[in-house]
């Protein structure tokens, strides 16, 4: 719930969960989306860089179409807020 309310720490954690499949089905599109949102929300450079590094790591395992879908979902999430 905190991730959906815009908390970047929770978004980063949710991205890690989707990346690993821990507690949720493994989903690189959702992981990328949440890492992207976390990176945009952090003001702390180290935390932002951590989210970016995780996003890039997941993106290396994704197709261009999957990355585009993840980016679309992140944009839509922001528009809904």
- How confident is the model at residue 81, as a pLDDT? 75
Q: Which long-range contacts (CB under 8 A, 24 or more apart) does 13-19 make?
A: 15/51, 15/54, 15/55, 15/58, 16/54, 19/54, 19/57, 19/58
- How confident is the model at residue 51, as a pLDDT? 97
Q: How many Å separate Cα 7 from the centre of its chain? A: 12
- How confident is the model at residue 4, as a pLDDT? 83
- How confident is the model at residue 78, as a pLDDT? 86
Count of residues for the chain? 81
Helices marked H in the chain — which ranges? 8-20, 28-41, 45-59, 64-80
- How confident is the model at residue 47, as a pLDDT? 95
pLDDT along the chain (81 residues), means of 10: 89 97 96 96 95 97 98 92 75
Indicate left, alpha or beta for 25 from its phi (over 0: left) and psi (-120 to 50: alpha). beta
């Amino acid at each position: 719930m905190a991730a959906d309310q815009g908390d970047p720490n929770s978004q980063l954690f949710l991205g890690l969960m989707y990346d690993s499949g821990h507690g949720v089905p493994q989903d690189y599109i959702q992981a990328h989306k949440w890492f992207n949102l976390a990176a945009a929300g952090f003001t702390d450079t180290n935390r932002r860089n951590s989210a970016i590094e995780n996003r890039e790591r997941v993106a290396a395992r994704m197709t261009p179409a999957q990355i585009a879908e993840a980016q679309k979902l992140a944009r839509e999430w922001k528009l809904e807020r």
